Amino acid sequence: MPHRGVVLALALLLAPTVAVGARGSDLQGQVLDPPRPALDFTLTDQSNRPVQLASLQGQVVVLTFLYTTCVDVCPLVAAKLHEVTDRLGSRRGEVAIVAVTVDPERDTPAAVTEFSKRWGMLDRWRFLTGTERQLETIWQYYWAGHVRREIPGATAAATPSHAIGHGSPVHIFDRAGRIRVVFDGDFQPAQLTHDIEALLEP
């Protein structure tokens, strides 16, 4: 699958040990030990407002990479993140869910608004867009990899549905803004919720 593969191989190289989370709970994703520092960025959300990653410190942040015309992994990830927010219940306000596009040509604020509504996430996440130049460094740093347009010569007008190859890492940042855990797109909502709740504790 074009969405999978690179993230956990890189994570295993960076984090060969298993760490223990808050209150002695074993974290269930791939733990980065030591934690990896964040690369800050500012992009535009579905409400056409700027969002800076550093401004989310103090919350636990979940960061992943999607695109709105995807027909396989991305909708599954969106649906699972919706379930995660349900599972968090009253603690949902302490967690920031952030999705970053891998298709800036098509993922306008209007497109990501429609996608967010479709998956019940409009008020539950920030789906961020930007220019290709802004995004390339972010994709590389956060292991979305080299984003591949898989239909040579395709244009937005000619190809309303198209495939893009990219990694689907799901990063969890602690309240201090450090990356502590990484999952791939095959995560289970209960696993992700468990690790978020562990990192919410002091």
Q: Which domains are seen in the chain, by residue range?
A: 6-151+161-200 (3.40.30.10)
Residue 48 has pLDDT above 80, yes or no: yes
pLDDT at position 150: 57
In order of 11, 15, 125, 134, the CA distances from 104 in angstroms are 26, 31, 18, 10
Amino acid letter, residue 40: D
Residue 74 has pLDDT above 80, yes or no: yes
Residue 115 has pLDDT above 80, yes or no: yes
Find all residues with CB under 8 Å of 57, minimum gap 6, and list them. Answer: 175, 176, 177
The DSSP bridge partners found for residue 183 are 170
- The tokens of 142 are what? 């956060």
Question: In percent, how much of the chain has pLDDT > 90?
Answer: 72
- The tokens of 160 are what? 């309303």
Find all residues with CB under 8 Å of 60, minimum gap 6, and list them. Answer: 94, 95, 96, 172, 173, 174, 175, 196, 199, 200
pLDDT at position 142: 96
Dist CA 88 CA 55 (whole Å)? 21
Look up residue 57 and give its DSSP letter: B
Interval 82-107: pLDDT, tens = 999 999 999 999 999 999 999 999 99
Task: Calculate mean pLDDT across residues 44-66.
Answer: 97
pLDDT, averaged across the chain? 85
Question: Would you say 38 and 173 are in contact if contact means Cβ atoms under 8 Å apart?
Answer: yes
- For residue 86, which phi and psi values (nearest 5 degrees)? -65, -45
CA atoms within 13 A on the CB side of 12: 6
Dist CA 75 CA 139 (whole Å)? 19
Question: Would you say 191 and 198 are in contact if contact means Cβ atoms under 8 Å apart?
Answer: no
Interval 116-164: pLDDT, tens = 999 999 999 999 999 999 999 999 999 997 666 654 454 444 444 567 8
pLDDT at position 27: 95
Amino acid letter, residue 41: F
pLDDT at position 141: 96
Report which of residues 1 and 98 the model is more confident about.
Answer: 98
pLDDT at position 28: 95
Dist CA 159 CA 15 (whole Å)? 40
pLDDT at position 164: 81
pLDDT confidence bin for 22, thresholds 50/70/90? very low
pLDDT at position 21: 43
pLDDT confidence bin for 188, thresholds 50/70/90? very high
